[in-house]
A = this chain, B = another copy of it.
Amino acid sequence: MRNTADQKLVRKLNNNIIVEILRNEAPVSRANLSAITGLNRSTVSSIIDELIDGGWVREIALQTDKIGRPGMLLEINPDGGFVVGIEIGVDFLLCLATDFSTEVIWRKSIKIDPEEGQVAILQKAFDLVEEAIVFGKKKCGRGLGIGIAIPGLVDVHDGVLKLAPNLKWENVPLRLIWNQQFHYPVYVENDGNAAALGEYYFGAARGIKDLIYIAAGYGLGSGIMVDGKVLRGNKGYASEVGHMTYDPNGKLCSCGKRGCYETMIGPRAVIENVQKLIKEKGPDKTIIKISEGNGNAINYDAVVNAALENDPIAIDALNDVGCKLGLVVSHLVNIFGPRMVILGGALNYAKDFIEPVVERVVKQNALSLCQEDLVITNSFLGQESSVLGAIGLVLENLWQI
């Protein structure tokens, strides 16, 4: 049966609109809500009554600065419930809990090693989430759901991780597993998509409907929003910008193909560049100082610190990777004509060396009309963008349409 618009749908749509307004613009009165939405006063009042009864919204004070009958001001009730988000990274777990007003009330992260294996890593994730739930219950009472962000191709409908090349996980029914462990609604999302959603709900891109989030870390992930919706493609797998081929004869990628952009963009690529440049040009004194004379011991933080001290090898190495990232972003700007491109991920620890290079390369390589009004910026939420996006998914789906 085709979707036709009916009363129930209309009610849910209007419900969501009102909660969204309260999230972004509270405190507001019923009269404000009526003016903003165009819904009549009695409809607004009946929706608000239900939301107050449910503990989602609360009255806070009498609006006194207006002429006419004063109305009670409304806001989201922070104690409406708590949400837990967890990001399963390649080498870390990051867990947050927020109250219903999306204030972070609890956070914890731990290092992991992908070689520990799936069972051990999931157990650690359960333990973190359990801690978060205990805290959330004390603070806000009811739990509203769990959002999971993970670096892989996700069937969001069924909550199944299909493939995470860098974790080497395949076909893991995450929602099912987490539902057995915790009795809350569970949403699973690709980390790039989750980060785009995080920035859209709470970060750099509030209200921006055409945006590209791109993060270079262990892999090169992205999340793309087109007209306010995550780009998902026909079967749910899209935005795999890191696996565009740059050089068909290039380095082997974790996906099994050769020469993907992912093999040339990210902290590992920067370190490889440094090692190559040291071999070519001879080691440079800052790098040597930082790596304590051992070229193999160089880590990304050391390179960034060397660049901050004007070390030419470190700067060259970052510049080269920034140019390649800029080329990927140029492709995406020509294709999507976005309003905003957000750079994130571990590479962005060197944001002062990456973002200006990306901007320059995009200016040169994208059509000028496609970059009209474009803003290229660094992530506002940093390493928490994916987790917060996963939390946003739980909230967005509280009243499912």
Contacts and interface: CB of A to CB of B under 8 A. Distances in A.
Given A234-B337, A235-B373, A244 B1 contact: no
A37 interface: yes
A237 B13 contact: no
A40 to B, nearest CB: 10
Contacts of A61: none
Contact of A370 (B237, B327, B372): B237
Contact of A17 (B4, B236, B364): B4
A231 B225 CA distance: 11
A211 B224 CA distance: 17
A63 interface: no
A336 interface: yes
Contacts of A243: 334, 366-367, 370
A48 to B, nearest CB: 15
B2 A38 contact: yes
A14 B234 CA distance: 26
B367 A240 contact: yes
A324 to B, nearest CB: 11
Interface residues of A, number: 59
Chain B CB within 10 Å — which of A4, A37, A210, A335 has the most? A335
Contacts of A38: 1-2, 4
Contact of A233 (B21, B255, B338): B338
Given A5-B10, A36-B2, A331-B331, A337 B367 contact: no
Given A1-B38, A5-B10, A14-B5, A336 B369 contact: no
6 contacts: A1-B36, A1-B37, A5-B9, A234-B337, A240-B337, A248-B365
Interface of A: 1-2, 4-5, 9-10, 13-14, 17, 21, 36-39, 153, 162-163, 209-210, 224, 226-227, 229, 231-241, 243-245, 248, 255, 257, 327, 330-332, 334-339, 364-367, 369-370, 372-374
